[in-house]
């Protein structure tokens, strides 16, 4: 395809495509490593799925009592705690956060580090130096109100979550399970105007034991012995809900937003499962909004404390759990998880299990080998190697986050936010070094030096 575009005169050391969960952190890390950084983001704020798909809280990733993701994740949590947008519950879980607050914190951290951001801009197409082996991305054509422009950098990080840049640069990829079917998408929302004291009392009396009205967590999935199932049955019988509205229902408190509950639902109807297909994504937005109306009516009529609720937020982004996964120098597999694989080029450690929200029926947690694999020990973890974020066939590109090189099952475990942070931190640091010391070549990074630096920054590798 031949595009007519304007090439901007300035150049950057590192351009991050997508300022989401991994990308914002990658931008901060690269800037702190001394690189001149630009983060290009389609929306008007940083944080991606965590903030704009309203995915709160951070999923716990603990082994032997220690959080496996540290470094910039710790700093992010501390900053959110300080401004009342984070919280630690009575059980010591520090993963609760307010997505709107996180947008402010991430932007502040990027700008403080000297990074730049270009919002409301879509990536279009890389310009490749094809004669080099492997080919190098010379520039990235973007589109925004200024039309088509090409931005140059020594190193690129594809943190779009969908591997938009990598796949357009010719990197091969996998998508979905063995049948090409993806995990379910969800459109998250909040309800405000909740009488949390009454809701908490009801949930406690209902058997959904709560630690307090500021840390509510409740759920219902058909057939999983939720104490809320009879209410859902009644609501389906009363034509308030559709049967599929009970495929996954979950609510959480949000720090700094009293009287508001964030919902990890509705799940989008099964035929719409491909988050990299713009037509499906658009239809998912419509489908999700219709379901949000039904769920709001359900909460008002059936949940004590929710009689006067109104919709607070409908997430600007449809929540996509899995779309494209690059083919990298190493592909993480289910066996790696179950065997607690260790790698000499480790950049992240994970204990979060395989967690497939299948459109083929229900949520599937890890049950392989009947729970007898080494992975199931409380102090177990597996590692993610640097090679999983290095795509084959391009010299100056890294792909951290949910599109990293992994099988369908392995991706469902490593995709949670704190792992995306850790992959982003490693990618940003490595990209900064590659740009400044190695002519952009991401394979030339000294692994011992990178791991030493990540540990110096507080990382757990």
Contact residue for ligand FAD among 41, 74, 287, 336 (CB under 6 A)? 41
SS3 annotation, the chain: CCCCCEEEEEEEEEEEECCCHHHHHHHHHHHHCCCCEEEECCCCCCCHHHHHCCCCCCCCCEECCEECCCCHHHHHHHHHHHCCCEECCCCCCCCEECHHHHHHHHHHHHHHCCCEEECCCEEEEEEEECCCCCCEEEEEEEEECCEEEEEEEEEEEECCCCCHHHHHCCCCEEECCCCCCCECCECCEEEECCCHHHHHHHHHHHCCCCCCCCCCEEEECCCCCCCCHHHHHHHHHCCCCCHHHHCCEEEEECCCCCCEEEECCCECCCCCCCCCCHHHHHHHHHHHHHHHHHHHHHHHHHCCCCCCCEEEEECCCCECCCCEEECECCCECHHHHHCCCCCCCEEEEECCCCEEEECCCCEEECCHHHHCCHHHCCCCCEEEEHHHHCECCCCCEECCCCCCCECHHHHHHHCCHHHHHHHHHHHHHHHHHHHHHCCCCHHHCCHHHHHHHHHHCCCCC
Rounded least distance, CB 304 to ligand FAD, Å = 25
Rounded least distance, CB 192 to ligand FAD, Å = 20
CA dist 182 to 148, 188, 249, 367, Å? 32, 18, 19, 20
Contact residue for ligand FAD among 186, 262, 396, 451 (CB under 6 A)? 186
49 lies in the binding site for ligand FAD (CB under 6 A): yes
CB nearer to ligand FAD: give 337 or 416. 416
Residue of minimal Cβ distance to ligand FAD: 20
CB nearer to ligand FAD: give 151 or 436. 151
CB nearer to ligand FAD: give 404 or 438. 404
Rounded least distance, CB 268 to ligand FAD, Å = 9
Interface segment toward ligand FAD; rule CB under 6 A; list 46-54, 82-90, 285-293, 383-391:
46-54
Q: Which of residues 53-82 bind ligand FAD (CB under 6 A)?
A: 53, 55, 58-59
Contact residue for ligand FAD among 12, 13, 14, 21 (CB under 6 A)? 21
Q: Which of residues 277-316 bind ligand FAD (CB under 6 A)?
A: none
122 lies in the binding site for ligand FAD (CB under 6 A): yes
Interface segment toward ligand FAD; rule CB under 6 A; list 39-47, 174-182, 340-348, 363-371:
39-47
Contact residue for ligand FAD among 74, 94, 107, 164 (CB under 6 A)? 164
Q: Which of residues 357-416 bind ligand FAD (CB under 6 A)?
A: 401-402, 415-416
86 lies in the binding site for ligand FAD (CB under 6 A): no
CB nearer to ligand FAD: give 18 or 432. 18
What values do phi and psi take at 341, rounded to 5? Answer: -60, 140
Rounded least distance, CB 100 to ligand FAD, Å = 15
- State the binding string over 142-161 for ligand FAD (x if CB under 6 A, else -): -----------------xxx
Rounded least distance, CB 2 to ligand FAD, Å = 20
Rounded least distance, CB 205 to ligand FAD, Å = 26
CB nearer to ligand FAD: give 12 or 438. 12
Task: Catalog residues that contact ligand FAD under the rule CB under 6 A.
Answer: 17-23, 40-43, 48-50, 53, 55, 58-59, 122-123, 159-162, 164, 186, 188, 264, 319-321, 401-402, 415-417, 420
């Amino acid at each position: 395809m031949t595009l007519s575009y304007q090439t901007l005169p300035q150049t950057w050391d590192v351009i991050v495509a997508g300022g989401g969960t991994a990308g914002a952190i990658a931008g901060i890390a690269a800037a702190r490593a001394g690189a001149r950084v630009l983060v290009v983001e389609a929306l008007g704020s940083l944080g991606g799925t965590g903030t704009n798909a309203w995915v709160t809280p951070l999923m716990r990733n603990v082994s032997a009592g220690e959080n496996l993701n540290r470094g910039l994740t710790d700093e992010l949590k501390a900053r959110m705690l300080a401004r009342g947008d984070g919280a630690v519950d009575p059980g010591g879980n520090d993963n609760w956060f307010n997505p709107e607050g996180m947008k402010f914190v991430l932007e502040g951290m990027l700008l403080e580090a000297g990074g730049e951001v270009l919002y409301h801009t879509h990536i279009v197409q890389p310009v490749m130096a094809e004669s080099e082996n492997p080919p190098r991305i010379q520039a990235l054509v973007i589109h925004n109100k200024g039309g088509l422009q090409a931005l140059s950098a020594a190193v690129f990080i594809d943190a779009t979550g969908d591997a938009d840049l990598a796949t357009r640069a010719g990197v091969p990829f996998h998508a979905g399970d063995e049948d090409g079917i993806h995990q379910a998408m969800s459109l998250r929302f909040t309800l405000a105007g909740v009488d949390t004291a009454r809701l908490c009392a009801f949930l406690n009396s209902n058997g959904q034991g709560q630690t307090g009205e500021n840390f509510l967590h409740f759920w219902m999935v058909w057939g999983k012995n939720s104490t809320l199932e009879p209410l859902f049955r009644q609501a389906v019988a009363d034509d308030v809900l559709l049967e599929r509205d009970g495929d996954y229902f979950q609510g959480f408190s949000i720090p700094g937003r009293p009287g508001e509950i964030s919902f990890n639902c509705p799940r989008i109807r099964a035929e719409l499962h491909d988050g990299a297909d713009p037509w499906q994504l658009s239809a998912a937005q419509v489908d999700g909004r219709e379901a949000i109306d039904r769920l709001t009516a359900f909460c008002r009529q059936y949940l004590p404390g929710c009689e006067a609720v109104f919709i607070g937020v409908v997430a600007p982004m449809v929540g996509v759990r899995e779309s494209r996964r690059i083919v990298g120098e190493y592909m993480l597999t289910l066996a790696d998880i179950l065997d607690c694989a260790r790698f000499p080029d480790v950049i992240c450690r994970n204990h979060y299990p395989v967690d497939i929200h299948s459109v083929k029926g229900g949520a599937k947690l890890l049950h392989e080998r009947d729970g007898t694999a080494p992975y199931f020990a409380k102090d177990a973890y597996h590692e993610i190697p640097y090679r999983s974020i290095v795509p084959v066939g391009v010299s100056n590109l890294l792909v951290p986050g949910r599109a990293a090189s992994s099988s369908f099952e392995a991706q469902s475990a490593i995709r949670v936010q704190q792992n995306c942070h850790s992959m982003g931190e490693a990618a940003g640091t490595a990209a900064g070094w590659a740009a400044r010391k190695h002519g952009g070549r991401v394979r030339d990074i000294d692994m011992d030096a990178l791991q030493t630096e990540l540990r110096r920054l507080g990382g757990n590798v």
